[in-house]
């Protein structure tokens, strides 16, 4: 559960810093058009902070981390989210600075999204294995399957 908590904290800090970076860079460059940089903070706060806060609640109730797919989910999700938001930051910064982004940006961005998709498959496998009939969430509680 500590890994989930620290992930939520780190993504909160990164999301807030991304918002400040966007505001200050666009103000310094007198840039008013749209850019991917404007949504990096929302991606970090939603896919990072909010997702991991929800995962903490599910961990508390279902003990997701005891499943065999949990580590695959956790590390694949981390890699996908860092890669995706990192490339968004690079691409958005290049846009603000008046530079064009080429295929070197598109490839890693696609890979980041593929990793996030794979991580969500692992996450749903974790959920499936914890909510299937016959699973009980407390060793000392009466033996009733979850609904």
- What's the average model confidence in pLDDT over 17-38? 94
**What are the Cα distances from residue 122, in Å, to 51, 64, 69, 86, 125?**
14, 11, 6, 22, 5
Could you tell me the pTM of the whole model? 0.86
Helix-strand-coil split of the chain, %, nearest 5: 75, 0, 25
- The per-residue pLDDT for 137 is 54
- The per-residue pLDDT for 132 is 78
- Report residue 143's pLDDT band, with 50, 70 and 90 as the boundaries: very low
């Amino acid at each position: 559960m500590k890994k989930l908590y620290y992930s939520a904290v780190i993504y909160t800090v990164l999301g807030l810093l991304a918002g400040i970076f966007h505001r200050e860079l666009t103000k310094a460059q007198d840039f008013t058009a749209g850019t991917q940089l404007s949504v990096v903070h929302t991606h970090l706060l939603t896919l990072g902070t909010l997702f991991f806060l929800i995962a903490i609640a599910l961990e508390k109730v279902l003990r997701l981390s005891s499943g065999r797919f949990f580590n695959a989910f956790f590390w694949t999700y981390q890699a996908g989210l860092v890669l995706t938001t990192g490339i968004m930051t690079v691409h958005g910064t290049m846009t603000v600075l008046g530079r064009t982004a080429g295929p070197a940006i598109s490839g890693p961005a696609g890979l980041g999204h593929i990793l996030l998709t794979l991580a969500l498959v692992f996450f749903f496998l974790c959920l499936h294995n914890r909510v299937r009939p016959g699973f009980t969430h407390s060793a000392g509680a009466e033996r009733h399957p979850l609904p």
